[in-house]
Amino acid sequence: MPNNLAFELDNPPTHPADNPRRSPEEAVLDRIGRIIVNPDFDLKELKDAADVLKRLAETPETALNSRPEPFSPSLFPHQAEFVKSRARFSAFIGGVRSGKTYSGTAKALSRAFLLPTVGAAVAPTVGMARDVLVPQYAELAANRIAKWTSSTGDMILDNGSKILFRSADNPERLMGLTLDWFHLDEAAQLPRRVWEVLVNRTISTGGPGFITTTPRGKNWVWRLVEEWRDDPDASAFFAKTSDNPLIDSAEIDRARRQLDSRYFRQQFEASFEEEGTRVYEDFTPQLHVLEESWQIRDNWPIYIGVDFGWTHPSALIWAQLSPEGKWFIFDELVEQHLRLERLAAAILGDPVTLAGRTFRARIPYSKVERIISGIEGLQSRQESGGESALSALSSLGISRAVAARSSILSGINAVRAKLLSADSEVKLFVDPRCRRLIDDFSGYKYPEDRNSEPDGELPLKDGIHDHTMDALRYMIEFVTPLRQTDWRFGF
Ligand SMILES: Nc1ncnc2c1ncn2[C@@H]1O[C@H](COP(=O)(O)OP(=O)(O)O)[C@@H](O)[C@H]1O
Ligand SMILES: [Mg+2]
């Protein structure tokens, strides 16, 4: 590695150890000097520093740039403070598309281009690491990437810095690393353990660690930020979606109208909202609600999910499944005291008079592949003189109905995998006419209990939001169950 490497910074660092004019070797030798003057120095720390020296001497196989440019990405005002903060630990808590990932990337690269370092850029899943982080780093590092090994997720920059792209779905896998810095994107989706493992990986280097995330209720990220109030070496920065000048304000207004207000404040204003956590956190009208009414395709199968009720409403949803496994939910019927004869008429495609309106399904029964209910479809019903709903439907001419035997948890996971798959693909879309279903996606919650995590608990049967949600999961899980492969992560 050439000795005339110079590093320049926009805002000169205040810490003498970060003198940018020194060569990397000088910086490391200096650090070794500081380590060994300490009478009880840490041998491991010395070894790590020696390793860095060795790496510098070896020069990666690729030609490194002999005169790297200073790295100065363009930043909006709400991002600059975070990127330039010299706190050991920091967080950019922002609304969706407020520029979190961009800011974290800019901060990480500022560090990486300053000195040859090893850092980690960590996302909740492999899909997010590959589809969100790597492209953002590549865009900002641009022609200063010396080498990219996609199989391992390692990037080497033209000054010799190494960036490890990792997913956090298995925190234990991060344990072997020694890091000069780390960037954890969408941290609030992860358990606190990931943060702690990463912090541990920087103990010997004292390097900075930072998270970029949208809040998720008052979870550990909120507690961390609270703990940081009295910590001079840690800072949190907040941004709303509207702080990003690239976002169309009409889009934010649309979300404000469609989302429940607490969810809107969390997602768009980066507010730590106290509430029962939503079961389907990933449901976002912008992603999941179609712009226009669904055009029914000729040859794709159509299914109906049904949750039988009486004093609580019955819920039916009609959906079409694409050959690639994408669901399009195009019709819904939610009604109290709906007798099975009328429910059958709705399935058959006949007009059904309801309180104040007439409902008619968009397709006749002949086009329906299957009708899927929960196991209660087989239980005897008082309202039908002891007969089960499925047997009553059968005598009304509807024979393609089944009762799905499944647990609430596995059904929810099947729906989640469609809302946002592990590889960040959306595979569930809702016709804008299904207003009830759209509302219920946001309103379907776990019980409000601040002291316990929602994991493992069952959603609230609030009698409002659970009916369409039940009908939906019966259908999705029965037709497109989660296979083992949907859960595979890992580079
Ligand atoms: N300083 C910036 N300059 C140019 N584009 C930016 C900047 N900050 C963010 N963006 C763009 O704004 C969009 C949203 O930013 P992103 O970081 O992906 O948001 P978030 O991670 O908060 O959802 C992206 O297209 C990103 O490239
Ligand atoms: Mg992002």
For 455-467, the pLDDT digits (tens) are 446 887 777 788 9
The residue contributing the CA closest to ligand 1 atom 16 is 99
Q: For residue range 165-182, list pLDDT tens digits in order.
A: 999 887 777 888 899 999
Rounded-to-integer distance, Cα 364 and Cα 304, Å: 12
Q: Which ligand is nearest to the CA of 83?
A: 1
Q: Which of 63-77, 82-96, 264-278, 396-410 is the least confident region?
A: 63-77
Atom of ligand 1 nearest to the CA of 212: 21
Count of beta carbons in the 10 Å neighbourhood of residue 157: 24
Rounded-to-integer distance, Cα 466 and Cα 193, Å: 32
The residue contributing the CA closest to ligand 1 atom 14 is 97
Rounded-to-integer distance, Cα 18 and Cα 38, Å: 20
Q: Is ligand 1 within 6 A of the CB of residue 153?
A: no
- From the list 213, 237, 199, 227, the residue with the least C-alpha distance to 86 is 237
What pLDDT does residue 110 have?
95
What pLDDT does residue 12 have?
37
Cα 465 to middle of ligand 1, angstroms: 34
Is 90 exceeded by the pLDDT of residue 259?
no
Q: Which of 242-251, 258-267, 331-340, 477-486 is the least confident region?
A: 477-486
Rounded-to-integer distance, Cα 306 and Cα 294, Å: 20
- From the list 284, 318, 316, 356, the residue with the least C-alpha distance to 468 is 316
Which of 84, 110, 131, 246 should be mutated for ligand 1, with most atoms under 8 A from CB? 246
What pLDDT does residue 6 have?
25
Cα 101 to middle of ligand 1, angstroms: 7
Q: For residue range 340-362, list pLDDT tens digits in order.
A: 999 999 999 999 998 778 999 99
What pLDDT does residue 54 have?
73
Cα 246 to middle of ligand 1, angstroms: 8
Is 90 exceeded by the pLDDT of residue 391?
yes
Is 50 exceeded by the pLDDT of residue 15?
no
Cα 102 to middle of ligand 1, angstroms: 5
CATH homologous superfamily of domain 63-243?
Answer: P-loop containing nucleotide triphosphate hydrolases (3.40.50.300)
Q: How far is CA 282 from CA 115, 138, 425, in A?
A: 38, 26, 11
Q: Which ligand is nearest to the CA of 105?
A: 1
What residue segments make up the domains of the chain, in order of their start? 1-6+17-59, 63-243, 302-487
Q: For residue range 368-386, list pLDDT tens digits in order.
A: 999 999 999 999 988 778 8
The residue contributing the CA closest to ligand 1 atom 12 is 99
CB-based burial of residue 380 (10 Å sphere; 0-12 exposed, 13-18 middle, 19+ buried)? Answer: exposed
Cα 101 to middle of ligand 2, angstroms: 4
What pLDDT does residue 432 have?
94
Q: Is ligand 1 within 6 A of the CB of residue 97?
A: yes
- The per-residue pLDDT of the chain, averaged, comes to 85
- From the list 121, 116, 125, 141, the residue with the least C-alpha distance to 133 is 121
Res. 260 pLDDT band, cuts 50 70 90: low
Rounded-to-integer distance, Cα 237 and Cα 94, Å: 8
Return all residues near 96 (Cβ < 8 A) that are at least 6 apart. 214, 241, 267, 268, 284
What pLDDT does residue 317 have?
98
Topology of the domain comprising 302-487: Nucleotidyltransferase; domain 5 (3.30.420)
Q: Is ligand 1 within 6 A of the CB of residue 79?
A: yes
What pLDDT does residue 127 have?
87
In a 3-state reduction of DSSP, which class is residue 169? coil
Is 80 exceeded by the pLDDT of residue 397?
yes
Is 80 exceeded by the pLDDT of residue 159?
yes
Is 70 exceeded by the pLDDT of residue 412?
yes
